[in-house]
Amino acid sequence: MDGLPSDWIGKIFSDSLIEVMSKTTSFSLTARPEPRDGKMYDNVGAMTLNSRKSGAVFISADEADMRVVCSYMTGAAKDEVTPEDELDALCEIVNMTAGNAKVRIDDPEYKYSLTPPFVISGKSLSITTKKRSQVVSMILSCEEISFKLMILFY
């Protein structure tokens, strides 16, 4: 985004995901930058962000990690969590993270509206962007789970 350094955007979204996971699961995630290779886990939750400059947020996790997260979020036993439950939880994580980040952006010029979240599933997923796109990519993890977070503005 013009005038906004990518580390500022990255911090807003990573802090939002950290807060969402802390409140919904009690997991304490830490963030670290990741190379901009676009590789994602097999389940990617996404949402487009509509503003003066449009964008998207992508959060990915593998099936085993989403089973743990969904179990903590719902109180269901891990063996009772279905693949559909995992994908629904991933959509909700994207929704809460993007909503939380939206509130944190205090510059009215960069406020955005949200679309409904969606999930893309498959093997060897990656996201490729044009060079002019601003991309922030990072891993957020703790001992139990790991997420890949990618924020894209163009």
pTM comes to: 0.91
The architecture of the domain spanning 6-153 is 3-Layer(aba) Sandwich (3.40)
- Encode pLDDT of 74-100 as tens digits: 999 999 999 999 999 999 999 999 999
On the question of pLDDT at 24 being above 90, the answer is yes
Q: Is the pLDDT of residue 137 over 80?
A: yes
Distance from C-alpha of 42 to C-alpha of 60, rounded to nearest angstrom: 7
DSSP 146: E
Query: 62, 60, 8, 19: which is closest to 37 by C-alpha?
Result: 60
